[in-house]
Amino acid sequence: MRKLRCMVCILIALFLFTGISLAQPAQIDINTLIQETQKRSDKPGEMTFVWWIPEEYWKASFAQNPAMTAEQIEEFIKVFRPYTIIAVVDGTMGTYGKVNYKTEGEIRANLRVLDNQNNIYHPLKEEEINADTKSFLATMKPMLANALGPIGENMHFFLFPAQGNNGQSLADPKKEGAFLVVLGERQFRWKLPFGSLFAPKTCPTCGEKVSGVYKYCPWDGTKLE
């Protein structure tokens, strides 16, 4: 239990560091990766936040802590490896700026994800989630509330299978494709892969550095290797 609480404390720190400039591990820009994994509603009056948390995020984040060994990082990641993790905060602005948040049950009833073949998946039920993962989430909830206030209190985590109907990853941030989270009538779409997970490329013609996922230079059309 002490080890579990320690991991949760580290996770809370990562939430608090979101958006803050940090030292970068080689070839991965953690701040860009955070931006790529998070989506927000742009509709006026909505306080809706959807965060897909792939394994690559955990690895890049824990790489910020030199005190963590590879074995400790693996011990944490394996708890969530069987799942696709979606964190959701869903609220609307009320009178005098008060935010009215949806409950876990309300969000769950309207939440689903679609893979690259448009197969639909619903959040796993509690009995479909292993005990270690449930224990971690149960420990994390009150700590998030204490650390982040109402946002943390109303941040709910939903687990989907890691693999889709075809036996492949439901969504792989390193492979071409798309990943869609549907929340009621709203859609949050990720176009893959994430550029932050690839070393930048240099155009041999103009010399500009571009995203590692680009196949052609956006400035002059030169094919990139």
Q: Are residues 14 and 96 in the same domain?
A: yes
Q: For residue 190, which amino acid is it?
A: W
Mean pLDDT score across all residues of the chain:
84
Report the domain count for the chain.
2
Note whether 219 and 207 are within 8 A (CB): no
Q: How confident is the model at residue 27 (pLDDT cuts 50, 70, 90)?
A: low
What is the pLDDT at residue 9? 45
Phi-psi region for residue 207, left (φ > 0), alpha (ψ -120 to 50) or beta? left
What is the pLDDT at residue 5? 40
Q: Are residues 180 and 214 in the same domain?
A: no
Q: Are residues 202 and 179 in the same domain?
A: no
Output 61 or 102, whichever has higher pLDDT. Answer: 102
The pLDDT tens digits for 144-177 are 888 778 888 999 999 999 998 888 889 999 998 8
Output 64 or 8, whichever has higher pLDDT. Answer: 64
Say how many residues make up the chain. 225
For residue 203, give its domain range.
Answer: 195-225
The pLDDT tens digits for 195-214 are 888 888 999 999 988 888 88
CA-based R_g, the chain, Å: 19
Residues above pLDDT 70, as percent of the chain: 88
